[in-house]
Amino acid sequence: MKFCSQCGSGEISLQTPEGDNRLRYVCPDCQTVHYQNPKIIVGCLPLYENKVMLCKRAIEPRAGFWNFPAGFMENGETVEEGAKRETWEEAGAKVEIIRLHTIYNILHINQVYLVFLAKLQSLNWQLGHETLAAQLFEESEIPWQDLAFPSNYFTLKKYFADQQFGGVHIGGLKD
């Protein structure tokens, strides 16, 4: 960070503010502390009968690989609204949220995934510009070697391992 977004000063420095225990970017002119917090990724594992919907990515990172619909949460929306929006944007699919299924932490890039189980409202969907294909898969059909991210693998494995379990699964990568 080079400039203060509050006052425009160019003297931002890393320091531990009084009463804090971490280095933060602080403006010496207006004393604004510029916190850097994790990004929240929200998404759905869309379900239809015994199948899950996956989307083949048209964008980097990992273009051409399969992923459940997910993306960055926007200001002014709930996590559920964001997960539904991402499913609509990527697959043109409307869903009904069932429950939170996965919390997945990726510390080295400061991301936290919240993945919801969701019921597909229709089998009519239209691909968004970020998606090459969308398809329903039974467990035996999942393209495990072509999943885009470890969060996909973790979420899918937990879903198929205990479809009747009502809890939330927590996992992640430390580096």
Query: What is the DSSP annotation of 107-171?
Result: GGGTEEEEEEEEEES-S-----TTEEEEEEE-GGG--GGGBS-HHHHHHHHHHHH-TT--S-EEE
Fold of 39-173: Nucleoside Triphosphate Pyrophosphohydrolase (3.90.79)
CA 36 – CA 124 distance, rounded (Å): 40
Q: Which amino acid is at 74?
A: E
CA 51 – CA 71 distance, rounded (Å): 22
CA 68 – CA 44 distance, rounded (Å): 6
Q: Which residue intervals of the chain bear CATH 3.90.79.10?
A: 39-173
CA 2 – CA 74 distance, rounded (Å): 25
pTM value? 0.89
CA 136 – CA 119 distance, rounded (Å): 12
| pLDDT tens sequence across 68-77 | 999 999 999 9
Q: Which residue intervals of the chain bear CATH 2.20.70.10?
A: 1-36
Fold of 1-36: Ubiquitin Ligase Nedd4; Chain: W; (2.20.70)
- Name beta bridge partners: 7: none
Q: Is the pLDDT of residue 25 over 80?
A: yes
| pLDDT tens sequence across 37-72 | 999 999 999 999 989 999 999 999 999 999 999 999
Number of H helices, E strands in the chain: 2, 11
- What is the structure's pLDDT at 164? 60
The upper half-sphere exposure of residue 145, i.e. CA atoms within 13 Å in the direction of its Cβ, equals 0
Find, among 5, 30, 6, 35, the residue nearest to 20 by Cα: 35
Find, among 71, 100, 109, the residue nearest to 88 by Cα: 71
- What is the structure's pLDDT at 165? 65
